[in-house]
Copies of this chain bind each other. A is one copy, B any other.
């Protein structure tokens, strides 16, 4: 038991360190040598824990995306609530989640294309499901006349753009919390910045 727990801890430290380095310097610009050094290991010892650099990036991203996806699809599937309420919940959850872990957000936005095609495809498919959730909600709002006359895709990408871009400037432990940021984004996206 102790052995397994330690093994898991070691693995988690590896993933966190890798995520941080890949995010700071870019996936291609970060060498396995450097990652090993940051962990106090040699390059060779690293390969005891991982199969390849590509697989490492995939594991980091997949666990990140998949956690939130399940929660979001459940949240939206609850048809007993009106669509604008579910939209509010989606926006707040999504903004809080993705603005809350900078290194992994950076990788999701910037380094998906660094993966080899087969692994990349798995994650692209999951991203597609995120998109489907939001455009689905917007479509529901359109039939009740609550959404303005614009393509749902444009609106959805505008929102994803706002949130995904936060890695450039937002600090989760800065003056504003991810929750407050989510509130601002909700307001901007649904009602705009002007009075």
Is A43 an interface residue when CB atoms closer than 8 A count as contact?
Answer: no
Which residues of B are found within 8 Å of A166, using beta-carbon distances?
A: 157, 161
| Chain B CB within 8 A of A51 CB | no
Give complex CA distance A176, B155 in Å: 13
**A→B interface (CB under 8 Å):** 25-26, 28-29, 84, 110, 113-114, 138, 141, 145-148, 150-151, 153-155, 157-158, 160-166, 168-170, 176, 181, 184-185, 187-195
Inter-chain contacts of A113 with B (CB < 8 A): 25-26
Copies of this chain present in the complex amount to 2
Q: Which of B110, B141, B162, B165 contacts A194 (CB 8 A)?
A: B141
CA distance A147 to B163 in the complex (A): 21
Q: Are B146 and A195 in contact (CB under 8 A)?
A: yes
**Given that A84-B194, A188-B192 are known contacts, is A161 also in contact with B150, CB under 8 Å in the complex?**
no
- Which residues from chain B contact A147 at a C-beta distance below 8 Å? 193-195
**Closest residue to A186 on the B side, CB-wise?**
B192
Contact of A187 among B146, B148, B164, B187 (CB under 8 A): B148
State whether A192 touches B190 (Cβ < 8 A): yes
Point out the residues of chain B lying under 8 angstroms from A150, CB to CB. 184, 187-188, 193
Most chain B Cβ neighbours within 10 Å, of A114, A161, A190: A161
Q: Is the CB of A154 within 8 A of B184?
A: yes
Minimal beta-carbon separation of A177 from chain B (angstroms): 12
Q: Would B148 and A169 count as touching, CB distance under 8 A?
A: no
| Bound Cα distance from A184 to B150, whole angstroms | 7
Q: How far is the CB of A185 from chain B (nearest CB, A)?
A: 7
Set of chain B residues within 8 Å of A158, measured between Cβ atoms: 162, 184-185, 188, 193
A154 to B187 Cα, complex, angstroms: 12
- Chain B residues contacting A191 (CB-CB under 8 Å) are 191-192, 194
